[in-house]
Amino acid sequence: MNEQANAPKGIAFNLESHIEYAAGAVVSKTLIKKEIGNITLFAFDQGQGLSEHTAPFDAVVHILDGKAEITIGGQPQTVSAGEMLIMPANISHALQATEKFKMLLVMIRGD
């Protein structure tokens, strides 16, 4: 699922075209992985998702393409291309691809 994909440094690139969909799968590419946090691209095929879990830090999700159902604390919401949300620390959340979608996940560790 996870491919280390050192992002191009010092040059502009398009996030949406930096990752491709795969049939029946979730694809991820870590752009930056540091002790203080991670930036990861994801591509979810329709019907794929991440099961309910919690994280000790807030996480920012920015939808690049398609739509996802993101459930936070038992409350589902549809998030579409161009939208973002902050998933709060220590609150359960899950993601489901109601159609295929791509997202950028930013997690910064600490207060």
Q: What is the DSSP string of the chain?
A: -EEE----SSS---SGGGS---TT-EEEEEEEEETTEEEEEEEE-TT-EEEEE--SS-EEEEEEEEEEEEEETTEEEEEETT-EEEEPTTS-EEEE-SS-EEEEEEEE---
Domain boundary assignment for the chain: 26-108
Percent pLDDT > 90 in the chain is 85
Interval 50-100: pLDDT, tens: 999 999 999 999 999 999 999 999 999 999 999 999 999 999 999 999 999
Q: Predicted confidence band at 7 (pLDDT cuts at 50, 70, 90)? A: confident
User: Quick one: average pLDDT of 40-57?
Assistant: 95
So what's the pLDDT on residue 110?
76
CATH architecture label of 26-108:
Sandwich (2.60)
pTM: predicted TM-score of the whole model, two decimal places: 0.89
Q: Predicted confidence band at 5 (pLDDT cuts at 50, 70, 90)? A: low
